[in-house]
């Protein structure tokens, strides 16, 4: 009985379509694999064509349909093209995961340039806005509802010295997510925010190089309840949960997937 229930959950996305940005590596790549494993057709978007092509081949070799579109989410025309590509290939979008983002450079507020501020906010915040705009249009036109997950961070709640643009962009996603959820919820589209902690991704490897292993290892040993970094597939499964029928009454919410980091004094 339990195995039949589990099998049903694992196949609950059969025939659905998932659009995932930032899909070339880390959490985005793992999310593409998790949605495909649960039966969804996937549309993969990022700036790295080689990585997207490789993941598309891998997913299709396992019997699920996949396609990719090279996209810079900070450019409206490219985001519109991305959503149009998904509609052309599959005729619908059921799930959207707005994951594309990057950390930017370390800089004191006194030395932070306007160009660096714009560079980070254009991807991490404007990019999510643009994705929401065109994803919502497609979902509303289709009339079947949908689920959208924006990807924030533990820095949606906590500041970090010399990372003002990144932290500001991730804080802003809370307000953006709840606002759009209030607008789209009555029309059958759920919108939630998933906030990962320290996860074993290229971004955090860059952080280790920047700040040193000792700082990271101390944080893992003293701040993270589980005493380890998360794995991309663990975050991907949390994203899939928020899109699934198991979360049918969850919208406008923020889910932390941080191993307990945020709740340590």
The CA distance from 19 to 241, in Å, is: 15
Neighbours of 196 (CB within 10 A): 29
**166 catalytic per annotation:** yes
The DSSP bridge partners found for residue 42 are 18, 66
Residue 92 Ramachandran class (φ > 0 left, ψ -120 to 50 alpha, else beta): beta
DSSP summary character for residue 39: T
Q: Which of 134, 166, 216, 249 is catalytic?
A: 166
The CA distance from 136 to 146, in Å, is: 9
Residue at token pair 């899109």: 243
Contact between 257 and 235 under an 8 Å Cβ cutoff? The reply is yes
Contact between 32 and 55 under an 8 Å Cβ cutoff? The reply is yes
The CA distance from 239 to 235, in Å, is: 6
Q: Which residues are catalytic, by number?
A: 166
């Amino acid at each position: 009985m339990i195995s039949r229930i589990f099998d049903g959950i694992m196949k609950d996305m059969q025939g659905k379509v998932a659009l995932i940005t930032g899909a070339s590596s880390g959490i985005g790549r793992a999310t593409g694999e998790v949605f495909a494993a649960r039966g969804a057709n996937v549309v993969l978007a990022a700036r790295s064509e080689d990585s997207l092509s490789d993941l598309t081949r891998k997913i299709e070799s396992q019997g699920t349909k996949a396609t990719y579109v090279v996209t810079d989410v900070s450019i409206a025309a490219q985001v519109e093209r991305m959503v149009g590509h998904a509609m052309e290939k599959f005729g619908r979008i059921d799930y959207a995961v707005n994951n594309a983002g990057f950390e930017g450079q370390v800089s004191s507020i006194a030395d932070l340039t306007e160009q660096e501020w714009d560079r980070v906010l254009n991807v991490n915040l404007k990019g999510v806005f643009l994705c929401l705009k065109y994803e919502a249009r497609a979902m509303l036109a289709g009339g079947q509802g949908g689920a959208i997950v924006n990807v924030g961070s533990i820095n949606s709640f906590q500041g970090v010295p010399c990372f003002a643009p990144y932290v500001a962009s991730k804080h802003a996603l809370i307000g953006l997510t709840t606002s759009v959820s209030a607008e789209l919820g009555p029309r059958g589209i759920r919108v939630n925010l998933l906030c990962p902690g320290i996860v074993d991704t290229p971004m955090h490897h860059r952080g280790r190089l920047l700040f040193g292993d000792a700082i990271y290892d101390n944080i893992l040993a003293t701040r993270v309840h589980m005493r380890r970094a998360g794995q991309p597939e663990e975050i991907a499964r949390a994203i899939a949960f928020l899109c699934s029928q198991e979360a049918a009454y969850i919208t406008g919410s923020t889910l932390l997937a941080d191993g307990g980091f945020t709740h340590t004094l």
